[in-house]
């Protein structure tokens, strides 16, 4: 591991008005993307194969999530349990992501990803079988979801760190945009397919489709030659983890990404945690209708990624973009608490999806660009843990608040928290296109 110099990066505190356009011409040149420039990154064969397989896998993941949430509403009417099964797949990231990220910086990522994907296939097929046999209870559903989450916690740092193994640094922003776009294309397709499939054949087939999507992704990884050979790590796993922690303690700009992202995901998680129960009990829709609502979020994200984000990135800093998008999220959280007309409700979700896309893309790009290669796996796993902690903690809090008060109050409090958090973190700077050695 190379020895890094002492920090010499700019302060994380913002010295200018975050709502003003970014005046740095170099940064504007890097971030001025057209639709064609973003899609042009798919000309890279390896990235294209990963992207297509990842899209299929994400569609399966959304079908899995919709199936699990809908199954829990069949098993229990508790808002807390519904929110908990939504959070259960993310909880292992709090404990395993950093270990997985440290391994990612030490071992053969290709072989590692193949092994982890087989684990996720096995767990998903087990869920399908037990669900088809009618043997699933609320507790068992949460346990199986946790087991699937263990695989996800181990896989995601390796997948994120692999990005710069398959695309040049000059196209990282485009690649991250495409990956975020695939997430939201899958959000549009996956829930709709899940709703139709669950309404026609039940939850178990949705789980089977997810297992097949993992298998397709595993085949792509198997055919990949793997990342460039690196010198063998002489450090132990624990020494590697300690070096990663030391880096984060000294890297001010990366700390800003962690802080701002955690606050954002904590507040924004209210909608995803409570939407299944809100759709079923207060909007009176079935699985098909729930899938359509999720599709509205995905459509908002896709439209934003294709037509709005490039223009914003060309004119404003990531800090200004996150600031205003977070306020849109706050307005959306308030809106879903009071709006009950299905068409207007879908409109609120559309704006939520667009703002979610903007913020998620901004945090992901900021983390990728600031981390040097020698610590990228550990740093990205740290960001995953931090963001996941926000989502899990927020999901449990909003579910508990809804249980003891009402969903409307829970959404109102989440909206107020988002406004407060946005203002409180405005002094932290995440805009940077240069790696930060610390």
- In DSSP terms, 428 is beta-bridged to 13
Instruction: Kindly state the tokens that stand for 314.
Output: 């060309």
The burial of 231, by beta-carbon neighbours within 10 Å (0-12 exposed, 13-18 middle, 19 or more buried), is given as exposed
What residues of the chain score a pLDDT lower than 50? 1-33, 231
**Measured between alpha carbons, how far is 214 from 56 in angstroms, rounded to an integer?**
8
| pLDDT for 12 | 41
Residue 433 is assigned to a structural domain of this protein? no
Q: Distances in Å between the alpha carbon of 66 and those of 137, 210, 255, 344?
A: 17, 11, 33, 22
Orientation of helix 342-370 relative to helix 172-201, angle to 10°: 140
Collapse the DSSP code of 306 into the 3-class scheme (helix H, G, I; strand E, B; otherwise coil) and give the result.
helix
Q: What is the pTM of this model?
A: 0.71
Instruction: Give the residue among 62, 49, 299 at the shortest CA–CA distance from 188.
Output: 299
Residue 436 is assigned to a structural domain of this protein? no
Collapse the DSSP code of 398 into the 3-class scheme (helix H, G, I; strand E, B; otherwise coil) and give the result.
helix
Instruction: Kindly state the tokens that stand for 80.
Output: 């807390």
| pLDDT for 207 | 95
Residue 240 is assigned to a structural domain of this protein? yes
| pLDDT for 64 | 92
Instruction: Kindly state the tokens that stand for 175.
Output: 């690649």
The burial of 151, by beta-carbon neighbours within 10 Å (0-12 exposed, 13-18 middle, 19 or more buried), is given as buried
Q: Output the 3-class SS for 114-153.
A: HHHHHHHHHHHHHHHHHHHCCCCCHHHHHHHHHHHHHHHH
- In DSSP terms, 21 is beta-bridged to 316
Q: Residue 337 is part of which domain span?
A: 25-424
**Measured between alpha carbons, how far is 418 from 423 in angstroms, rounded to an integer?**
9
| CA 184 to centroid of chain Cα atoms | 10
**Measured between alpha carbons, how far is 278 from 275 in angstroms, rounded to an integer?**
5
Orientation of helix 342-370 relative to helix 376-404, angle to 10°: 150
| pLDDT for 156 | 87
Residue 434 is assigned to a structural domain of this protein? no
First-to-last alpha carbon distance for the chain, in angstroms, is 13
Residue 142 is assigned to a structural domain of this protein? yes
- H helix runs in 282-375, sequence order: 287-303, 309-315, 318-338, 342-370
- How many structural domains comprise the chain? 1
Residue 330 is assigned to a structural domain of this protein? yes
Collapse the DSSP code of 289 into the 3-class scheme (helix H, G, I; strand E, B; otherwise coil) and give the result.
helix
**Measured between alpha carbons, how far is 227 from 192 in angstroms, rounded to an integer?**
36
**Measured between alpha carbons, how far is 227 from 234 in angstroms, rounded to an integer?**
19
Q: What share of the chain is helix, strand, coil (3-state, %, to 5)?
A: 80, 0, 20
| pLDDT for 349 | 95
CATH of the domain at 288: 1.20.1250.20
Residue 1 is assigned to a structural domain of this protein? no
- How many DSSP H helices and E strands does the chain contain? 17, 0
- The owner of tokens 């946790």 is 146
Residue 6 is assigned to a structural domain of this protein? no
| pLDDT for 230 | 56
| pLDDT for 32 | 44
| pLDDT for 36 | 63
């Amino acid at each position: 591991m190379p020895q890094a110099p002492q920090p010499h990066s700019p302060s994380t505190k913002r010295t200018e008005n975050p709502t003003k356009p970014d005046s740095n011409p170099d940064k504007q040149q890097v971030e001025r993307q057209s639709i064609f420039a973003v899609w042009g990154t798919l000309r890279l064969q390896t990235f294209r194969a990963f992207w297509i397989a990842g899209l299929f896998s994400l569609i399966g993941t959304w079908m899995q999530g919709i199936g699990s949430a809908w199954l829990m509403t069949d098993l229990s009417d508790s808002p807390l349990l519904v929110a908990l099964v939504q959070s259960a797949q993310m909880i292992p990231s709090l404990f395993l992501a950093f270990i997985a990220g440290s391994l990612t910086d030490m071992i053969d990522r290709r072989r590692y990803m193949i092994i982890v994907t087989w684990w996720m296939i096995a767990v998903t097929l087990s869920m399908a079988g037990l669900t088809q046999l009618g043997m699933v209870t609320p507790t068992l559903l949460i346990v199986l979801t946790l087991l699937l989450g263990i695989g996800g916690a181990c896989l995601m740092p390796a997948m994120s760190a692999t990005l710069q193994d398959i695309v040049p640094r000059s196209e990282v922003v485009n690649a991250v945009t495409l990956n975020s776009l695939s997430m939201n294309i899958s959000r549009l397709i996956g829930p709709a397919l899940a709703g139709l499939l669950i309404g026609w054949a039940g939850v178990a087939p949705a789980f089977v489709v997810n297992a097949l999507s993992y298998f397709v992704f595993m085949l792509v990884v198997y055919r990949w030659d793997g990342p460039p050979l690196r010198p063998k790590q002489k450090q132990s796993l624990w020494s590697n983890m300690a070096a990663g922690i030391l880096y984060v303690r000294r890297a001010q700009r990366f700390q800003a990404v962690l802080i701002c992202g955690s606050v954002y995901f904590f507040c924004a998680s209210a909608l995803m945690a409570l939407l299944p129960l809100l759709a079923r009990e207060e909007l009176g829709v079935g699985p098909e209708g729930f899938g359509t609502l999720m599709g509205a979020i995905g459509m908002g994200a896709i439209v934003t990624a294709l037509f709005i984000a490039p223009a914003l990135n060309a004119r404003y800093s990531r800090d200004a973009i996150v600031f205003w998008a977070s306020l849109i999220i706050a307005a959306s959280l308030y809106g879903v608490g009071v709006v009950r007309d299905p068409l207007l409700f879908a409109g609120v979700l559309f704006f939520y999806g667009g703002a979610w896309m903007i913020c998620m893309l901004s945090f992901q790009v900021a983390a990728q660009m600031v981390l040097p290669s020698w610590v990228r796996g550990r740093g990205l796993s740290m960001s995953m843990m931090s963001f996941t902690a926000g989502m899990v903690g927020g999901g449990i809090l909003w579910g508990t608040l809804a249980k003891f008060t009402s969903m409307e109050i829970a959404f109102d409090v989440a909206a107020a928290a988002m406004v407060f958090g946005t203002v409180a973190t405005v002094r932290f700077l995440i805009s940077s296109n240069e790696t930060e050695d610390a």
